[in-house]
């Protein structure tokens, strides 16, 4: 992996290019990681991935904990790693223990031995050695070290302990790792600017390829988040990429961009797709008046429409006029409304394919 900053704004925001060894074209940052379950996007099969914007969709987020209820690390390793197992050798994978959809951190059960997560197969305690074994078998392009994430309401003492554990586990993960790939050092600190700075200073001293900033989306307010993000990015080395978890909403992502974050792990699109919403604000030059908001129209707002709403039952127009994506070129709001009402998964596939 190689990363280069292209340009800076007047503040901390920046654009860059991320080069993955197995993909010839660079990925422009800031960029969103495409969330997956067990290595594949939730609603898009591998043969449909080329229909997504390229190379923006070539970096996938994967949670190693998803594989604990199935294949063993030894089996994944024998297959040749995650790329070969899921049949996506030209795609990049970023492995992070926390998955905001399936695997949530459980701070009350975390201890000095390892981090605890609530997963579909129960509450699991993950030790650094176990975590590195999973990473070594999967061979992702990027992986974040194990972290002790805590919500905003824990005591100062517990927050300080989370920083101490995260730094200690960082050293253990680096010492145990023989996986290759780019190691992203984990940064936590909860709602405390001082603890965020302390953790960042410790991680910045280590030999890592980038930084994973965790502990967000766990109870802190949007008003206090810019100070926390800026406290971290002000210390980090500029030539290394930064990945953040927990900033899901578009306005939260913009906060991260303003603070100098390069990569985002967001479950926002997943939840919208699952509930039948389609984004309608302009992307890639699509001309849409997003401010034509009718307060009496319960099926839409300024940025998205709810295609489950009855007003779209006979609407034969595309989701977005003049859009070149497969969904808008071939299907209507009425058809997607029908698919949603009869619980056909094709509805989610078509919505996920929207740019």
Tell me if 49 sits within 8 A of 88, measured CB to CB.
yes
Helix (H) or strand (E) holding 272: helix 268-275
Structure-block tokens of residue 220: 């802190």
Q: Is the peptide bond before 30 cis (omega within 30 degrees of 0)?
A: yes
Check residue 167 and give its pLDDT. Answer: 97
| pTM of the predicted model as reported, rounded to 2 decimal places | 0.90
Intervals of the chain under pLDDT 50: 284-298
Strands 182-187 and 210-213: parallel
Check residue 293 and give its pLDDT. Answer: 34
CA nearest 150: which of 264, 236, 254, 246?
246
Q: Which residues are within 8 A (CB) of 309 and not within 5 positions of it... i.e. 6 or more apart?
A: 298, 299, 300, 337
Query: By three-state DSSP, how is residue 261 classified?
Result: coil
Check residue 286 and give its pLDDT. Answer: 36
Exposed, middle or buried: residue 123 (CB in 10 Å: 0-12, 13-18, 19+)?
exposed
Phi/psi of residue 331, each to 5°? -135, 160
Tell me if 253 sits within 8 A of 247, measured CB to CB.
yes
Other CB atoms within 10 A of residue 249 CB: 12
Q: What is the CA radius of gyration of the chain?
A: 21
Structure-block tokens of residue 249: 């909403």
Strands 277-279 and 304-306: antiparallel
Check residue 354 and give its pLDDT. Answer: 76
Tokens 């990569």 appear where? 263
pLDDT digits (tens, 9 = 90+) for 142-163: 999 999 999 999 999 999 999 9
32 vs 99: CA distance, rounded Å: 14
Tokens 């975390």 appear where? 110
């Amino acid at each position: 992996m190689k990363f280069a900053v292209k340009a800076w704004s007047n503040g901390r925001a920046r654009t860059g290019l991320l080069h993955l060894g197995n993909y010839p074209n660079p990925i422009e940052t800031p960029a969103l990681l495409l969330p997956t379950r067990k290595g594949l996007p939730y609603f898009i099969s591998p043969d449909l991935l080329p229909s997504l914007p390229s190379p923006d969709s070539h970096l996938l987020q994967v949670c190693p904990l998803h594989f604990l209820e199935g294949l063993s690390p030894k089996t994944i390793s024998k297959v040749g790693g995650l790329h070969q197992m899921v049949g996506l050798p030209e795609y990049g994978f970023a492995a992070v223990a926390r998955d905001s959809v399936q695997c949530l951190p459980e701070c009350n059960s975390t201890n000095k031995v390892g981090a605890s997560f609530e997963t579909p197969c129960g509450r699991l305690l993950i030790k650094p050695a176990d975590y590195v074994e999973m990473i070594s078998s999967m061979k992702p392009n990027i992986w974040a070290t194990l972290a002790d994430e805590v919500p905003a309401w824990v005591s100062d003492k517990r927050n300080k302990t989370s920083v101490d554990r995260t730094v200690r586990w960082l050293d253990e993960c680096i010492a145990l790792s023989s996986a290759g790939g780019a190691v992203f050092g984990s940064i936590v600190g909860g709602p405390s600017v001082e603890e965020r700075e302390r953790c960042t200073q410790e991680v910045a001293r280590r030999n890592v390829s980038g930084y994973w900033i965790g502990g967000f989306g766990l109870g802190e307010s949007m008003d206090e988040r810019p100070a926390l993000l800026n406290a971290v990015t002000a210390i980090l080395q500029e030539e290394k990429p930064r990945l953040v978890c927990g900033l899901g909403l578009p306005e939260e992502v913009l906060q991260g961009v303003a603070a100098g974050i390069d990569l985002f792990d967001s479950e926002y699109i997943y939840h919208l797709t699952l509930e039948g919403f389609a984004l309608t604000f302009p992307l890639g030059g699509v001309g849409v008046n997003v401010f034509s908001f009718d307060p009496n129209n319960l099926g839409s707002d300024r940025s998205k429409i709810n295609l489950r709403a009855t007003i779209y039952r006979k609407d034969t127009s595309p989701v977005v006029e003049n859009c070149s994506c497969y969904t808008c070129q071939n299907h209507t709001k009425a058809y997607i409304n029908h698919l949603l009402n009869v619980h056909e998964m094709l509805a989610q596939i078509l919505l996920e394919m929207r740019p």
